[in-house]
Amino acid sequence: MEWTTGNDIVDRISKMHLEGNIIPHTWYHKITLSDKPDLVAIVMLSEIVYWYRATYEKDEDTGRVLGIRKKFKADLLQRSYASFTEQFGITKRQAQDAMKRLEDLKLVTRHFRTVTVNGTNINNVLFIELHPEELEKLTYGDGGLSRSNGRGYHVQTGEAITLKRETNTKITSKITTQTKRVRSSPKMTDYTEAFEQFWSVYPRRIGKKEAFSKWVARLNSGVSEEELILAATNYAKKCKADKTEERYMMHPSTFLGPNDKYVDYLSPQPEQKEKPDKPADPRRKPLVDENFIKRFSIGDEDDL
């Protein structure tokens, strides 16, 4: 006997085995930005959760579950900001900012590691750690799964479900206030150790105070110190390989500015040999004929 709801569209959709990312409704109330759903952060979190959901291995004949396995190879999920950019049609800055907000909510932790690929070391590779206990609180409330029906929404218990929007707003306001304070009146003489390391490797050292102001702004936007130092190192190597004169090198404040020039140098630049001096063209005639010079040259000292 075939069951029916009486609605042809509902019946046909019910036969589809849909897979992919899941977004519980509670996320739209609890992951907010300026009191509105933080859609970029929500979509990125759903993608991260998808990869941390196990894959079930079933028997082809009986359909019985034989076991489960994780989707990724390492101990943590490895994703780049560029992959989120390509998948969801957002900018790299949006991806970085959203990841920082998820980290502020203690849902994820970013880890930057060095990995070796085909004998080449690649620095500052992003790995994302998901925190199940915080995700459970976000989705089901402080009571966790014990207060839910296991399907992603709460069971009525006679109490109104209290959303944490007010709490999250307070946290967001506090973070925003701290950020504005750093940007508006940073102590330009108190350079951090990481910035000094950046300054030591950058090929053109000019406008240190302004550069530090841009450095602080980039950190507040979610960029890590390691990424900026890596970009400066790669840019210095490229300038040396290209024999770029200092006057044509970017100012540090431009490199760290809002146009994200540093992003182009986060990946190691292709190795280039220093450009050799251009050999003389044998086909080019000298400006003065050698025979003419000989005719008018003075003799040796012995002849005087």
Percent of the chain with pLDDT over 90: 48
End-to-end CA distance of the chain: 126
Amino acid identity, position 61 = D
Q: How confident is the model at residue 23 (pLDDT cuts 50, 70, 90)?
A: very high
Amino acid identity, position 188 = M
Calculate the CA dihedral of residues 138, 140, 143, 145 and round it to 10 degrees.
Answer: -120
Which residues make Cβ contacts (< 8 Å) with residue 220, sequence separation at least 6?
179, 182, 183
Quick check: 304 pLDDT over 60?
Answer: no
Q: Which residue, 240, 206, 212, 241, is CA-closest to 228?
A: 212
More confident residue, 154 or 295: 295
101-104 contact pairs (CB < 8 A, 24+): 101/31, 101/33, 101/38, 101/41, 102/31, 102/41, 102/44, 102/45, 104/171, 104/175
Which pLDDT tens digit goes with each residue over 26-66?
999 999 999 999 999 999 999 999 999 998 887 878 878 88
pTM of the full structure:
0.49
Tell the residue number behind the tokens 């890590």, with chain if given.
224
For the chain, the structural domain boundaries read 21-150+162-179, 186-265
Which pLDDT tens digit goes with each residue over 90-121?
999 999 999 999 999 999 999 999 988 778 88
Which pLDDT tens digit goes with each residue over 194-231?
899 999 999 999 999 999 989 888 888 888 999 999 99
For residue 276, the model assigns a pLDDT of: 57
* Residue 232: other Cβ atoms inside 10 A: 22
> In whole angstroms, what is the distance from residue 265 CA to residue 234 CA?
6
